[in-house]
Amino acid sequence: MSPLDLRPSPIAGTWYEGNPKSLAASIDTYLADAKLPSLDGQVIAVIVPHAGHRYSGAVAAHAFAALRGQNPELVVIVSPFHNYAPYPLITSAHQAYSTPLGEIEVDRSVLAELQQNLKLTITPIHNDKEHSLEIELPFLQRVFKNRFSLLPIMIRDQEETTAKHLGEALGKTLEGKNVVLVASTDLSHFYDQQTANKLDHEMLKRFESFQPESIFAAEQSGVGFACGHAAVAAVLWAAQSLGANATKVVRYATSGDVTGDMSSVVGYGAAVILKK
């Protein structure tokens, strides 16, 4: 038994492999198959999809592969919160997350520091069912050879002001720390392949513009969609204050590229946020 209070995983064994050896092997294969363009600068953050590994793992691996060789002491994951809770920002009330590959402790001291720098309250909850944050953890556990702690933040209130407050507070909190940021989002949902491609490329263009406000404009005008658009914007604002100045999309695909069903697809993009 672990001495830590562990968040029970609602998705290990369904959304991704439950067997440690199989999980490690599948992630290592995704990472090995990822072919990256040359990246000019230090990778400060990544933007990754959060469907089941079977659907989006190959795309996500392209962003995570760009983190190889780094040894962060802290990883910050910002994700949407897909279920209902009456709080704008949510974190885990547990001491650690558990996956088949081991435990990752939540960094309570950094969380407290973030809360001090933030005008909004981050509410800790027990037994959350959120997949969009947990799904990234096994990739991080295979990419980084060192132990790291986790700062998990889930956004329910996807308003621009909430994302901006969070991003600016993260930037202030993380300054001088050995940290990597992760923004978790899928793109458009349940359009045909041709429509999805058009919507998704517009949203990815907004990511690359490095103008977080334009992401909300795309979402509100219907020219592009991302279920974690506020998470991406918050991470862009945080990365900006940490010196990042460019975003590069490294992979795009849809669920149709995996299943062969092009009539109703979900879009997946992977990008890196660079300090050039």
Quick one: pLDDT at residue 38? 92
Q: What is the pLDDT of residue 65?
A: 98
- How high is the pLDDT of residue 89? 98
Q: Is residue 128 part of a domain?
A: yes
pLDDT on residue 126: 96
Q: Which domain holds residue 113?
A: 6-275
269 Ramachandran zone, left/alpha/beta (phi>0; psi -120 to 50): beta
CATH classification of the domain holding 195: 3.40.830.10
**Does residue 34 lie within any of the structural domains?**
yes
The pTM score is: 0.98
What are the distances in angstroms from CA 248 to CA 47, 226, 252, 262?
Answer: 10, 17, 12, 26
pLDDT, mean over the chain: 97
Q: Is residue 217 part of a domain?
A: yes
Range list of H helices, 118-228: 131-134, 137-143, 160-174, 193-209, 212-221
Question: What pLDDT score does 232 carry?
Answer: 98
* pLDDT for residue 2: 76
Sequence-distant (6+) residues with CB within 8 A of 93 are 124, 125, 126
Is the Cβ–Cβ distance between 237 and 273 less than 8 Å? no
- In a domain? residue 1: no
**What is the pLDDT tens value at each position of the chain, 276 positions in all?**
678 999 999 999 999 999 999 999 999 999 999 999 999 999 999 999 999 999 999 999 999 999 999 999 999 999 999 998 999 999 999 999 999 999 999 999 999 999 999 999 999 999 999 999 999 999 999 999 999 999 999 999 999 999 999 999 999 999 999 999 999 999 999 999 999 999 999 999 999 999 999 999 999 999 999 999 999 999 999 999 999 999 999 999 999 999 999 999 999 999 999 999
pLDDT at 1 (0 to 100):
65
The domain tally of the chain equals 1
Examine residue 208 and state whether it is found in any structural domain, yes or no.
yes
Flag whether 150 is in a domain. yes
Q: Is residue 155 part of a domain?
A: yes
